[in-house]
Amino acid sequence: MAIPKLTFALAGAILAASGAHAQNAAAPVKIGIMADMSSAYSDIGGKGLVEAARMAVQDFGGSVLGKPIELVFTDGQNKVDVASAAARRWFDQDGVDMITDLPTSALALAISELGREKKRVVMVTSASTSELTGKACSPYTVHWTYDTYALANGTGAAVTEQGGKNWFFMTADYSFGYALQGDASAVIERNGGKVLGAVRSPLNTPDFSSYLLQAQSSKAGIIGLALGGNDVISAIKQAADFGIGRPGSSQRLVALLAFLSDVKSIGLPLGQGLLLTEAFYWDQNDATRAWSQRFQDKVGRKPTMTQAGTYGAVTHYLNAVKAAGTKDADAVMSKMREMPINDFMTKDGKLRVDGRVVRDMYLFEVKKPADSKSEWDLYKQVAVIPGNVAFRPLDKGGCALAKSGGAE
């Protein structure tokens, strides 16, 4: 008796599906790092961030669920189209299970949406826009290290409370800058301050002269730099040429986002007295010093908070894969929310349903040259900002995932 063709077709489909399942079951756990390897954010992330992720994989043992852990990385060039194309290829063709780093807010927002579409985990350790856990939140996105709300709540509030009431912003002309200025303005006004104006500059601006002149002519006591990466360094160095922020000046520079590597590049003579908010500093305790020395032995410099944060993010992800017993994104996300975050950088951190990791933040002041005892002895810790104070309440961000009455 002839067997219907439909039976052969179904059998073929079952065999193909079984083969695909077996292939997927044997596939490695693959983590992709979307980095800036050569531009404005290469010092805060770049090769050092890749090394931090590699340290996390090695410390975990190199495998999970009987599968090898693989790292891949690429330079997204800080271009949304380039990064999105690479991320889509990673998800569709290369079997990448999780993407991390994402140095700019525009990249992070775009890849977060792609992660939602593909149901893959995205762990943002470098970009800062608070929109990632606001209206743009995704059930597959984790905002790990810090955000613009926490920066504003730390530095902006501290400076305003110290008497810095009148502000003028020099703002990066892209999503990160808009979010940072908006969050800082809200904090300033809430604390009795006033924003007199703002000027916007494109990424990697070589000459800040015209922007600095506008800020100077505003007569604002505080010039808030809502800039990132090399732009912060350039703006502070060039401001000295106009006397802004120097002894005797009536105007003070405040960097709303600055990293240890930025301060090292600026130098203590120009950077001294600068207030900044970070999630991590290498010299906070024995645990931070020990890990940072391991990092320095490999990279040649102390880690930034995004490099340290990437180690923690990769570790937490791998712990969740192990606990879930699967790479399935929904199961892994559930475990990451369930498990507390404890490592050298974070104590009793928590991943909320909106994707925000809530941890303590720290207000630092850049030391005077005479107070620094070594090359990387750059900060003095001024205050601890508890996580429930530093980060936006769950019910205030507009995230559709936040349940009514579930504010934290």
Domain ranges (residues) in the chain: 29-146+284-354, 149-278+362-385
pTM > 0.95: no
**pLDDT value of residue 249:** 87
Q: What does pLDDT average to over the chain? A: 92
Instruction: Check whether 11 has a pLDDT greater than 70.
Output: no
Instruction: Check whether 12 has a pLDDT greater than 90.
Output: no
**pLDDT value of residue 94:** 98
Tell me what the mean pLDDT of segment 163-171 comes to. Answer: 96
The residue with greater pLDDT, 382 or 26, is 382
Contact 320, 144 (CB under 8 A): no
CA-CA distance, 36 to 357, in Å (whole number)?
23
Tell me what the mean pLDDT of segment 203-214 comes to. Answer: 94
Instruction: Check whether 34 has a pLDDT greater than 80.
Output: yes
**pLDDT value of residue 405:** 40
What are the pLDDT digits (tens) for 273-286? Answer: 888 999 999 999 99
> Lowest-confidence range among 10-24, 94-108, 258-272, 348-362?
10-24
Tokens of 307: 């490099």
**pLDDT value of residue 203:** 87
**pLDDT value of residue 24:** 60
CA-CA distance, 358 to 335, in Å (whole number)?
16
Strands (E), 36-161: 63-64, 67-75, 98-101, 121-124, 141-143
Contact 129, 105 (CB under 8 A): yes
CB-CB neighbours of 9 under 10 Å:
10
Confidence of residue 175 (pLDDT cuts 50, 70, 90): confident
Q: Do domains 29-146+284-354 and 149-278+362-385 have the same CATH topology?
A: yes
Residue 380, CA atoms < 13 Å, CB-side half-sphere: 16
29-146+284-354 belongs to which CATH class?
alpha beta
Q: What architecture is domain 149-278+362-385?
A: 3-Layer(aba) Sandwich (3.40)
Confidence of residue 25 (pLDDT cuts 50, 70, 90): low
CA-CA distance, 212 to 86, in Å (whole number)?
37
CA-CA distance, 98 to 115, in Å (whole number)?
9
Q: Report the share of the chain in percent with pLDDT over 90.
A: 87
Tell me what the mean pLDDT of segment 177-202 comes to. Answer: 95
Instruction: Check whether 65 has a pLDDT greater than 50.
Output: yes
